[in-house]
Amino acid sequence: MAKSTGLIKLEGFLGGYTFYYRKGKPFVKSSSGHTKERMKTDPDFANVRKVNNEFGGASKASKVVRDGLGKDLSLIAGKCNNQVTGLFQKVIANTEGDRGRRPVKFAAKKNLLQGFQFGKKAKVDIRIDKTVSATDKGIEISWKAEKYHRSNLPAKSKATHVRMVIAAICVSDLVFNEKTEQYEPKNRLWHGKSKVSYSDYLPLDEEIGDKRYSLIIENSGQRNEGDAIVICAGVIFYEEDRGHYYTVHTGSFAGIEDVIDVGDHDEKKEEFQTEDIRLTTKLGLDIIPLEGVNLRLDGKGDFG
């Protein structure tokens, strides 16, 4: 790699060299000779094409989840593109099929997604109880916070209030389309919808109470096999000053709490089944069902 210092600034391929800019500065390097057409057709690059295909599928899965987090959870998650894409690369790697064309499954691989934490390690201890059911209007998620411990915040934190956030992201398994050579959702009408629900601003020095919150994902045609809802949970701390609430990022948390299979079900009233499990993850989450599914985010856990 060399830095270009000529008077004429070039960008692109010329005479076996590639001219490009990085961080606003011009550079030049010798070309490898690997043209785009060769990469697409040469048998020597068959494995490269397979890796690129599945990376594209993981990237699309990552994007639909990140886009559905909403403004506040996205701020907590930060720049986690690579982190979430890597998660879905792991999902693909653990799925049967021909390499380069293995599907991206959500509900079928919930064990790999459940407990994933966006961004930095959490320092909170909270429990959320929720039920998920189908109604005439759509799928309703009813939830409430059950437990919270102020002592897990840093001693010097200025936080005075806390809010819990639930993001429900509609996803459909991604499959490789041979014609377009791209990963596409099995059910386009379902894939990509999302709803976010917030609790009230809850004072840290008071009881949480029994208030329940809810959100409804409206019906949009028949749900198919492979359709699911990725449930992300977040905890956001605030400092209250004369009636205004300012976000305190230290200790705030966002993670994937559950993935619920809603595919190929009757639109009439029904309650979706959830697993009776207790799971301790490397991120310190214990997922313990009460009425439906119940989340414990415990900052005492450590990375393994």
What band does 32 get if pLDDT is binned at 50, 70 and 90? Answer: low
CA–CA dist 1, 7 (Å, integer) = 19
Which pLDDT belongs to residue 150? 55
- Residue 125, pLDDT > 60, answer no
Give the lowest-confidence range in 99-113, 121-135, 138-152, 276-290: 276-290
pTM, two decimals, is 0.75
Please write the tens of the pLDDT for every residue from 86-123. 999 999 999 999 999 999 999 999 999 988 888 765 55
pLDDT category at 147 given cuts 50, 70, 90 is low
